[in-house]
Amino acid sequence: MIMKNIKINNNPIGIFDSGVGGLNIMNEIHKILPMENIVYFADTLNLPYGSKSKDKIIDLSRKISFFLVKKKVKLIVIACNTASIFSLNIMKNFKIPMLGVIDPCIKFAILKSKNMKIGIIGTEATVNSNLYVNKINKIAKYNVYQQACPLFVPFVEEGIINGNIIDVIIKKYLDSLLKIDIDTLILGCTHYSFLKKALIKNIKKKISIIDPSKYMAQEVLNVLKKKSLISENRFKKNYSFLKIYVSCNEKKFKNTYYKLFNKKIFNVKKVNLEDM
């Protein structure tokens, strides 16, 4: 039954990341909000963000957000830790809601951790910013340990998410973190959620892994409800559309998508970020 007095908004949800990292967030959003249209932007030309300067990341995030606004999105999910860290506050002047991945991860890590020892793995830029550590310490005196894992992103972008090489790299990066008795590990880079199975296999201990994908989808639902931005298509399942834009090499993106999800994707279009 269609309820009266519910405001509707059929404009799409905008999501962006440097590459395939935000796709798990996108899929989780689609799972709980199948009626919502989605526009995803992957800045494959400028990947990886993790080795870029703060100014460069802000500049790119701004350009992508303007592009998404031109596509008439009603809300933007910054499905990238590195971009969320540097850009979220600066982009408060956009007239639509902007959601970053950091706060939801922290919220759930704190709920999960019993011994107050939290590990964070992320890009070099994320780790060097210390934002996770500072935010967590503002809440309570947790012991927070960080580790940058710069090789993870290129492997995920190649669609390589398991096997011997991945095991070796995981062991190398996580060795010192696991010697400390952390009980919670934040995946502080959206690309790493593709490595979750390999991480669990190699960690061999009971550790809560905080993957932002599900939390972000819930966050999007809450904001859409609160701001009356839900699409009316909710009464017609599968009515929604998905459009993916990349800033270079759409063929590679499609190939990686296939390797990651064992499913073909067709609607990927290359656009020039400099023209936006």
**Residue numbers annotated as active site:** 80, 189
236 secondary structure, DSSP code: S
Q: Is 50 in the site for ligand DGL (CB under 6 A)?
A: yes
Rounded least distance, CB 6 to ligand DGL, Å = 34
Distances (CA, A) of 171 to 35, 163, 177: 41, 12, 10
Distance CA 274, CA 276 (A): 6
Distance CA 18, CA 273 (A): 12
**Closer residue to ligand DGL, CB minimum distance, 153 or 166:** 153
The answer to whether residues 121 and 186 touch, using CB atoms and an 8 Å cutoff, is yes
* Helix spans in the chain (H): 23-32, 54-70, 81-87, 102-112, 124-129, 131-139, 152-157, 164-179, 196-203, 212-226, 250-261
Rounded least distance, CB 160 to ligand DGL, Å = 15
Binding residue for ligand DGL, selected from 113, 126, 240, 256, defined by CB under 6 A? 126
Q: Is 219 in the site for ligand DGL (CB under 6 A)?
A: no
Rounded least distance, CB 36 to ligand DGL, Å = 22
**Closer residue to ligand DGL, CB minimum distance, 37 or 81:** 81
Q: Is 191 in the site for ligand DGL (CB under 6 A)?
A: yes
| Candidate ranges 105-113, 187-195, 198-206, 262-270; the one touching ligand DGL (CB under 6 A) | 187-195
Site residues for ligand DGL, window 72-101 (CB under 6 A)? 80-82
Report the interhelical angle of 250-261 vs 23-32 (nearest 10°): 60
Binding residue for ligand DGL, selected from 75, 91, 96, 153, defined by CB under 6 A? 153
66 secondary structure, DSSP code: H
Q: Is 49 in the site for ligand DGL (CB under 6 A)?
A: yes
Two structure tokens written together for 6 = 């519910």
Rounded least distance, CB 124 to ligand DGL, Å = 8
How many chain residues touch ligand DGL (CB under 6 A)? 16
Q: Is 189 in the site for ligand DGL (CB under 6 A)?
A: yes
**Closer residue to ligand DGL, CB minimum distance, 15 or 189:** 189
Distances (CA, A) of 267 to 23, 159, 194, 241, 270: 14, 19, 22, 10, 10
The answer to whether residues 16 and 80 touch, using CB atoms and an 8 Å cutoff, is yes
Rounded least distance, CB 227 to ligand DGL, Å = 25
Which spans of this chain sit near ligand DGL (rule: CB under 6 A)?
17-18, 21, 47-50, 80-82, 123, 126, 153, 189-191
